[in-house]
Chain A
Amino acid sequence: MKILVCISKSPDTTSKIAFTDGNTKFDENGVQYIVNPYDEWYALVRGLELKEAHGGTVTTITVGTAADDPTIRKALAIGADDAVRIDAEAKDAYFVAKQISEYAKDQGYDLILTGKETIDYNGSQVGGMVAADLDLPFLSLASKLDVDGSSATLELDITGGTKVVKADLPAVVSCAKGMAEQRIPNMRGIMAARTKPLNVVAPAGVEELTSFTSYSMPDAKSECKYVDPDNMDELVQLLHNEAKAI
């Protein structure tokens, strides 16, 4: 079984978010990057579990620059067999998806796994675009994935319940919480990652479809006002005049 797992980096959740160049660029100064948790904890680990159960290989693919290599090495330390990095800056979901599909189209993968979203821009677009471009089934937000021969059975969380879906392989699946449990790389894995192949591939000629015009920070948290439960007049006055909610 040949599995391709899409890996991207995202700022550590404790990072202080700021912008530069007139609010047009994310300020990377002092920011630590991690493997996007949905890619790591769910897509990659489930891919490894399937490989352990059925045999085969797990390859990771990343669209990024050399700055992405530490997060790719971590994915290798967790257990991926090899990694591919498309050597281009990832700015636009279509650009990223097209690079992945261009690489994957001749490789014969049975499964392409992504995280349900990346925790920086939360676009949740790449998996669907890859599937569309490769003309494969796309199953999004799966919390469970099992493979039996040439088909996959998935569970998708829906409002108030669970939906069970079957799909023929190959397929593209975006993975959500519940799919697998985080694996912490052990020393054996970290040592092995030193020599696992990380293949850097030139990007395909693809146009970006979108670009960022500017960023802005949310308003600072305003102070909490306490109103005496017996003083309904004050509460109504505040909701009407200050919050303008009524």
Chain B
Amino acid sequence: MATDQYVHPDYYNMDEMLTEEHKLIRESARNWIKKEVSPIIEDYYERAEFPNQVIKGLGEIGAFGPYIPAEYGGPELDQISYGLIMQELERCDSGLRSTASVQSSLVMYPIWRYGSEEQKQKWLPKMATGEAIGCFGLTEPDHGSNPGGMITNFKDMGDHYLLNGAKMWISNAPIADVAVVWAKNEEGRIWGLLVEKGMEGFSAPEMHGKHSLRASITGELIFDNVKVPKENLMPGRSGLGAPLSCLDSARFGIAWGALGAAMDCYDSALRYSLERTQFDVPIASFQLTQKKLAEMITEITKAQLLTLRLGQMRNEGKATSAQISMAKRNNVEIALKIAREARQIHGAMGITNEYSIMRHMANLESVVTYEGTHDIHLLITGMDITGIPAFKREL
């Protein structure tokens, strides 16, 4: 891959709305990525391997649980800082951001919010540094958009719980030290259990054959009569709302992250169009190229405004799930469109690993589906404005 020359587009001077600390956090993440990840990401993507050596660095730049309080080893940053870090990570690769999103929002977040004090002390400090890695088991082979239909379940055996079932499409699963697993008890109520690597009957085989998120590791979680100690149940909250609150946090990070991928595609396309000449002039001088670039920066600017405002509301604890859905859906959609247009501007070079465009495009095909599909997010908005859920119906 060519030298990483990324400079973030900021058409509406959004940086003026950030604090100096926000900018330092972003700059540090970007410099670390340019030094440690950009030179290797294409190679790992092609080989479909996760670069384990970046885990420590991700911890050092604060990518694991940025908003976790200092008493549990976290940096105690605000939501905009979390968003900016996710944006920088996905600017490089959605798989890299996925690893950090899962660790932060889907594992550290529920342990912090719903875990016991012992669970927090045991896991959060180690996860903030990357010494321990976590994964999140909600989706099942037959229950994706409808997680409430899950069949994974646990029975109270007196001195322990007995867990059975299977989860699928689980980021980080094969390398995880702990899995936050959502399962139904005998009354059909959903609870979160911390299932630890090495527990008898628990396995996490890697899933292969992905054409997307190839630099992120994905697996299944299989529970065959796993004896889970009773102290591993997260006592703070039960019901579907518990895992959905984690998804709010993750989707917020994705809204920032996908925008980062879009910004990278635009930045690369703008630079390429000014350097590439055809008919003795830069291709940036052609109206059709300018149309593409102008539409890209317009969509990026709109998404930046949406995302920053969402961050402000989330800092104040006011952002609703539906507002987060809108940002996730919009930003992934514009990122996909921008990736496609940027690929065209790069001509044939756009399909090669000299540029990040095609990798972003393939990655975003996962991002548009996971953490609530594109269509489901639209239905969430529809439900929010009409008051009528359109997810399920009697047929």
Name A's B-contacting residues (CB within 8 A). 14, 30, 32, 69-70, 73-74, 77, 182, 184-188, 190-191, 194
B144 at the interface (CB under 8 A from A): no
Tell me how far the C-beta of B20 lies from the nearest C-beta in chain A, rounded to whole angstroms: 4
Among B21-29, B40-48, B250-258, the one that faces the other chain is B21-29
Which residue of the partner chain, among B13, B15, B23, B62, contacts A187 with CB atoms under 8 Å? Answer: B62
Tell me how far the C-beta of A216 lies from the nearest C-beta in chain B, rounded to whole angstroms: 25
Nearest 8 Cβ contacts at the A-B interface: A187-B62, A186-B60, A70-B20, A187-B75, A184-B31, A185-B28, A184-B32, A184-B28
> Please, how many angstroms separate the alpha-carbon atoms of A164 and B60 in the complex?
37
Q: How many residues of chain B have a CB within 8 Å of chain A?
A: 20
Q: Is the interface of B mostly helix, strand, loop or mixed?
A: helix
Query: Is the pair A186, B20 in contact by a Cβ cutoff of 8 Å?
Result: no
> Please, how many angstroms separate the alpha-carbon atoms of A186 and B62 in the complex?
7
Can you list 21 A-B pairs, Cβ within 8 angstroms, ordered by A? A30-B13, A69-B20, A70-B24, A73-B21, A74-B24, A182-B35, A185-B28, A186-B62, A187-B25, A187-B28, A187-B60, A187-B61, A187-B66, A187-B75, A187-B77, A188-B75, A190-B21, A190-B24, A190-B25, A190-B28, A191-B70
B7 at the interface (CB under 8 A from A): yes
Which residue of the partner chain, among B20, B24, B35, B70, contacts A185 with CB atoms under 8 Å? Answer: B24
**Which of B1-51 touch A at CB < 8 Å?**
7, 13, 15, 20-21, 23-25, 28, 31-32, 35
Query: Is the pair B28, A194 in contact by a Cβ cutoff of 8 Å?
Result: no
Given contacts A30-B13, A186-B60, A190-B62, contact A77 B24 (CB under 8 A): yes
**Which of B151-203 touch A at CB < 8 Å?**
none
Kindly name the residue among A32, A70, A186 whose own CB sees the greatest number of chain B CB atoms within 10 A: A186
Contact partners of A182 in chain B: CB under 8 A: 31, 35
> Please, how many angstroms separate the alpha-carbon atoms of A14 and B270 in the complex?
15
| 4 extra A-B contacts, CB within 8 A, seeds A14-B7, A70-B23, A190-B28 | A32-B15, A73-B24, A187-B25, A191-B70
Contact partners of A14 in chain B: CB under 8 A: 7
Tell me how far the C-beta of B357 lies from the nearest C-beta in chain A, rounded to whole angstroms: 21
Contact partners of B13 in chain A: CB under 8 A: 30
> Please, how many angstroms separate the alpha-carbon atoms of A184 and B13 in the complex?
25
Given contacts A14-B7, A30-B13, contact A186 B21 (CB under 8 A): no
> Please, how many angstroms separate the alpha-carbon atoms of A188 and B25 in the complex?
11
Given contacts A14-B7, A191-B70, A191-B75, contact A186 B28 (CB under 8 A): yes
Kindly name the residue among A74, A184, A188, A190 whose own CB sees the greatest number of chain B CB atoms within 10 A: A184
Query: Is the pair B24, A184 in contact by a Cβ cutoff of 8 Å?
Result: no
> Please, how many angstroms separate the alpha-carbon atoms of A30 and B13 in the complex?
8
Contact partners of B15 in chain A: CB under 8 A: 32
Nearest CB in chain A to that of B63: its residue = A187
Tell me how far the C-beta of B139 lies from the nearest C-beta in chain A, rounded to whole angstroms: 30
> Please, how many angstroms separate the alpha-carbon atoms of A113 and B265 in the complex?
41
> Please, how many angstroms separate the alpha-carbon atoms of A14 and B8 in the complex?
11
Query: Is the pair A73, B61 in contact by a Cβ cutoff of 8 Å?
Result: no
Contact partners of A30 in chain B: CB under 8 A: 13
Contact partners of B20 in chain A: CB under 8 A: 69-70, 73
Given contacts A14-B7, A190-B24, A194-B21, contact A184 B35 (CB under 8 A): yes
> Please, how many angstroms separate the alpha-carbon atoms of A32 and B23 in the complex?
10
**Which of B324-361 touch A at CB < 8 Å?**
none
> Please, how many angstroms separate the alpha-carbon atoms of A13 and B198 in the complex?
51
Tell me how far the C-beta of A193 lies from the nearest C-beta in chain B, rounded to whole angstroms: 8
Tell me how far the C-beta of A27 lies from the nearest C-beta in chain B, rounded to whole angstroms: 15
> Please, how many angstroms separate the alpha-carbon atoms of A70 and B23 in the complex?
9
Tell me how far the C-beta of B253 lies from the nearest C-beta in chain A, rounded to whole angstroms: 16
Nearest CB in chain B to that of A69: its residue = B20
Query: Is the pair B61, A186 in contact by a Cβ cutoff of 8 Å?
Result: yes
> Please, how many angstroms separate the alpha-carbon atoms of A32 and B24 in the complex?
12
> Please, how many angstroms separate the alpha-carbon atoms of A73 and B77 in the complex?
16
Tell me how far the C-beta of A196 lies from the nearest C-beta in chain B, rounded to whole angstroms: 13
Kindly name the residue among B24, B35, B66 whose own CB sees the greatest number of chain A CB atoms within 10 A: B24
Tell me how far the C-beta of B128 lies from the nearest C-beta in chain A, rounded to whole angstroms: 9
Tell me how far the C-beta of B117 lies from the nearest C-beta in chain A, rounded to whole angstroms: 23
Tell me how far the C-beta of B193 lies from the nearest C-beta in chain A, rounded to whole angstroms: 30
